[in-house]
Amino acid sequence: MSKHMQLQKVTEDLESSSNDATDGRLSETEVGELLSSQRRRVILSYLQVCDGPVEIESLIEHLTYQELEECSSGTPTHLFEAISEAVWNDHLPLLAEHDVIKFDRESGKLRGWTNIGQLAHRLREHSN
């Protein structure tokens, strides 16, 4: 294969992958996965009622308070630590991977991003 043909192929591959990446639509499977967790649904709801960037620590406190009301087992400190670990290690990275949120570990802030509207719409349907 000539260098020109190789370059053309690489260019086509890049255009194809960038078109896929910028498509922005979440599949039904992705939407289902993202909304399958009660904590992720609360994160999305929390972002909807807050204007602008959200303090992640405040979000974790909100989740902890809500879960303490739902069940009386465990101590608040233990629950806060467990939720904090899950939010930082599981929920935020998954939502960010799907362009639903953007978050910054240094500033400790998060905000809705490109695909949050798709989930917000489905979240309303889910709660009805």
3-class SS of residue 68: helix
Q: What is the mean pLDDT of the chain?
A: 81
**Domain parsing of the chain, residue ranges:** 28-127
69 within 8 A of 18, measured Cβ to Cβ: no
pTM of the model: 0.76
Residue 52: the pLDDT is: 82
Residue 28: the pLDDT is: 92
pLDDT digits (tens, 9 = 90+) for 80-104: 999 999 999 999 999 999 999 999 9
Residue 127: the pLDDT is: 62
97 within 8 A of 45, measured Cβ to Cβ: no
- Per-residue pLDDT at 42 exceeds 80: yes
The CATH topology of domain 28-127 is Arc Repressor Mutant, subunit A (1.10.10)
Single-letter residue type at 49 = V
Cβ-in-10-Å burial (0-12, 13-18, 19+) of 52 comes to: exposed
